[in-house]
Amino acid sequence: MCVSCLSEAGVKNPNPRKRKKQSLKLGHGGTLDSAASGVLVVGVGNGTKMLSTMLAGSKKYVAVGELGKATDTLDATGKMVLEKDFEHITRVDIEEKLKSFTGDIMQVPPLYSALKKDGQRLSVLLQKGHKVEAKPARPVTVYNLTLQEFKPPLFTLDIECGGGFYVRSLVDDLGKALSSCAHVKELVRTKQGQFTLEEHALHEGQWTLEHVLRSLQPCSESETGTKPSKEHTD
């Protein structure tokens, strides 16, 4: 990494000739599920202090759900725990049920999540065989929720939501509301705060040091008064 870039990132007196290790902070503005893809904003150096401010606003997702099958993780990575009929479900049924999941709603987070108990993630505790109780329902906001495609058993949702929202819980709850069950088959985050997948993401062919450095957005000292975001959503 070049000296000027280290300086912009908040490293004091960077000198590549010295063997002394340079400390460079990295942070991210909220987790993504291991099976999900899309926008994950990373802060470098002083930029870690700006994440909460820069990521204020809504998030957008495109989710593909599969009717008729429920898993313990509420997505395709988990073990199937329930199978139910879905032939009775129509496009109109889904669109009607989505109305009750729009606005300010209460939502129970998934058991398999980055939320913590006694300092450890719930997902890690479950993998170790510990018994974990579901977290209580909490208020979340859904600004926009539309059905983009319906090809049974698959359906595609376009979602715009606030912080703390879990797409997996939405799809699971929707399946139950339709007198069936469902899980997330694919999930892409297309927007996080002011950052979008179209405008800011680096495609695989651009995963080089040169392109990464070009994508860094420098920050001034006056903008670094906030702490990095610790919000965990999928």
Residues annotated as part of the active site: 33
| Range 142-146, long-range pairs (CB < 8 A, 24+ positions) | 142/101, 142/102, 142/103, 142/105, 142/170, 143/58, 144/102, 145/98, 145/101, 145/102, 146/98
User: What token pair was written down for 94?
Assistant: 């889904």
d(CA 190, CA 144): 14
Query: φ, ψ for residue 109 (rounded to 5)?
Result: -65, 155
- The answer to whether 147 and 214 are in contact (CB under 8 A) is no
Dihedral sign for Cα 11, 12, 18, 23, please: negative
User: Of 162, 193, 234, 211, whose CA–CA distance to 51 is shortest?
Assistant: 193
Tell me how far apart the alpha carbons of residues 135 and 169 are, in angstroms, rounded to a whole number: 12
Of the CA atoms within 13 Å of residue 166, those in its CB half-sphere come to: 26
